[in-house]
A and B are shown apart, each in its own frame.
Chain A
Amino acid sequence: AQTVTQSQPEMSVQEAETVTLSCTYDTSESDYYLFWYKQPPSRQMILVIRQEAYKQQNATENRFSVNFQKAAKSFSLKISDSQLGDAAMYFCAYRSRAAGKSTFGDGTTLTVKP
């Protein structure tokens, strides 16, 4: 079974600075997808960024980028120029292409200090 580990329960960053959230996963599959989702306090969870395992190029969405290391099974999220609105819980998720089931990490709570 796949597992997703987020080793940082809490992180904090100064506004306008850069922060990196860590995620590692364990799988024997070669074809899968990885996601970062954001859950602001008392609000809906939304997708931040997605990475297909077969793509070597790291995904980027504006201030959000990932460092995908397939061999190391690592998928970290970098947030540049952090904003107060980035404060949320961030979940790393793995989705098997074959099984279709999504597995989430325990989440990292990000605090942004003004």
Chain B
Amino acid sequence: KAGVTQTPRYLIKTRGQQVTLSCSPISGHRSVSWYQQTPGQGLQFLFEYFSETQRNKGNFPGRFSGRQFSNSRSEMNVSTLELGDSALYLCASSLAAPLVAGELFFGEGSRLTVL
């Protein structure tokens, strides 16, 4: 069974640009969540989707957005990039539906560098 796939793995952008990251969950997983990982801030929750609906959102500005498609694949978008957006963005999928906790399966992450 294929794991969680994130693309691209590495990317470099300049301030003001926008970026779209993609995540393909494990087959059968309908829940996808996104996290930002930085050395100083640890792992910060961005948002969680279940069946194309955003169920939870973290404390990030509106420049960060996401969506989930009918096949459970998810994308997140960051507009007007800032230097502080440089981070490892992790996607995780889960069998869990809302109200049911389950193990998170993580992808390898997309490492974004903003110059």
A positions within 8 Å CB-CB of B: 32-33, 35, 37, 43-47, 50, 52, 91, 93, 95-107
Residues of A within 8 A of B96 (CB): 100
Name B56's contact: one of A37, A100, A105 (CB within 8 Å): A100
CA gap between A12 and B98 in the complex, in Å:
37
**Given A91-B43, A104-B42: A97 and B103 within 8 A (CB)?**
no
Q: Which of chain B's residues has its CB closest to A47's CB?
A: B103
Which of B3, B33, B100 is A102 in contact with, Cβ under 8 Å? B33
Tell me the interface secondary structure of chain B in the complex.
Answer: strand
Contact residues in A for B45 (Cβ distance below 8 Å): 101-104
B35 at the interface (CB under 8 A from A): yes
A102 to B104, CA, bound (A): 9
Residues of B within 8 A of A103 (CB): 45
Contact assessment for A95 and B101 in the assembled complex, using a CB-CB cutoff below 8 Å: yes
Which residues in B have their C-beta under 8 angstroms from that of A104?
35, 42-43, 45
Q: How many angstroms from the CA of A35 to the CA of B97 in the assembled complex? A: 17
Which residues from A are CB-within-8-Å of B3?
44
Residues of B within 8 A of A91 (CB): 42-43
Give the CA-CA distance A104 to B92 in the complex, in Å: 13
Chain B 1-31 per-residue mask, 1 if CB under 8 angstroms from chain A, else 0: 0010000000000000000000000000001
**Given A45-B90, A107-B42, also A101-B48 (CB < 8 A):** yes
| Beta-carbon contact of B99 and A98 below 8 Å | yes
B64, CB-defined interface residue at 8 Å: no
Q: What are 6 inter-chain pairs, A to B, with CB distance below 8 A?
A: A46-B106, A91-B42, A100-B99, A100-B101, A102-B45, A104-B42
CA A24 – CA B54 in complex, angstroms? 28
> In the bound complex, what is the Cα–Cα distance between A28 and B106 (angstroms)?
28
5 extra interface residue pairs, beta carbon distance < 8 Å, beyond A37-B104, A105-B42, A106-B43:
A43-B108, A44-B106, A44-B109, A45-B92, A100-B31
Chain B residue with minimal CB distance to A99? B56
Q: Which residues of A contact B104 (CB under 8 A)?
A: 35, 37, 45, 47, 93, 102
B49 to chain A, nearest CB (A): 11
Query: Which A residue's beta carbon lies closest to that of B96?
Result: A100
